[in-house]
Structure 1
């Protein structure tokens, strides 16, 4: 029987070390923290996003997300505009600079992930891990909601 507490500890330690390694490499090579990279990817996939959408995706508070968007905007990587459908929110989109830095940083992230994960796990194990983590994430985001943010 699997010791779930040990599994949890391993999962958290791997995530922490991987996050720190990716963050350090992105900062060193692109002057881009990993958190900003993740926001840029999310905005790029959506085309436009509300601060609430970013907060929900990252599972952090709207206040922390708004400050992160302020930093992205100050760096010229995104811009905010008024939301015509909701005066209480704004819309965030990438600038050409945000698109450029995301395009440059993506291969760096992929190379680091290949080193940490892709080169360690066989393809079938990696595929199984991806399926199972996706299932756990969906469960965490729907059945066991810890955020209580309102749109």
Structure 2
């Protein structure tokens, strides 16, 4: 019979047999009936985030855009302009992927490449007038949807929720 180790005693108590590695792992793995239900603010925030993401994807599709194309346009709109490398870093994709993505958005008339005013080797991606129109439309639709979503919530509760979400966002970013 195999010797019982100190780890076996701590994890499983003093027994007569050596515990296999599989037995050890199963002891620490939750069983299939374990609940993964989120509660409290997390239980409320996660479904909200998922619903917002689903609505954003639908809005992008309504405008003929993929999710990553929308994200790229949004990031460029928010920054005013971005170098392709900056956009690649923010989207966490390769520079090659950004070349293809920006080529598609330029061909669609939503983006334009502009030369850096002080460095002719650098290019910036900016929204075209049509890109601004699409972003305004999408932003307006999402803002209207959120305004309807908060109807019936009193101002103090909404202000407290807003403050809590901002605090949580900053804590997560750290």
Distance 1:128 1:71, change over 3 A: farther
Maintained 8 Å contact 2:59/2:138: no
Kindly provide the CA deviation profile for residues 56-93 of structure 1, in whole angstroms up to 9, marking residues without a partner as x. Answer: 66xx4143972654443332211234656596x74211
Maintained 8 Å contact 1:52/1:62: no
Kindly provide the CA deviation profile for residues 85-116 of structure 1, in whole angstroms up to 9, marking residues without a partner as x. Answer: 596x742111111011122222211111123x
Aligned length: 134
> Equivalent residue of 1:49, what SS?
coil
Structure possessing the higher radius of gyration over alpha carbons: 2
Report the TM-score when normalising by structure 1. Answer: 0.64
Q: Which one of 28, 45, 53 corresponds to residue 19 of structure 1?
A: 53
Q: Which one of 144, 154, 170 corresponds to residue 111 of structure 1?
A: 144
1:121 matched residue in structure 2: 153
Question: Please, which runs of 5 or more residues in structure 2 have no aligned partner?
Answer: 1-36
Maintained 8 Å contact 1:26/1:32: yes
2:134 matched residue in structure 1: 101
The answer to whether 1:132 aligns with 2:170 is no
Report the TM-score when normalising by structure 2. Answer: 0.57
Richer in helix (by share):
1
Q: Distance in 2 between matches of 1:94 and 1:81?
A: 10
Q: Distance in 2 between matches of 1:19 and 1:108?
A: 14
RCO greater where, 1 or 2, for CA within 8 Å and sep 6 or more?
Answer: 1
The answer to whether 1:61 aligns with 2:92 is yes
Q: Which one of 56, 73, 77 corresponds to residue 44 of structure 1?
A: 77
The answer to whether 1:79 aligns with 2:106 is no
Q: Distance in 2 between matches of 1:108 and 1:18?
A: 12
Q: Distance in 2 between matches of 1:123 and 1:34?
A: 33
1:147 matched residue in structure 2: none
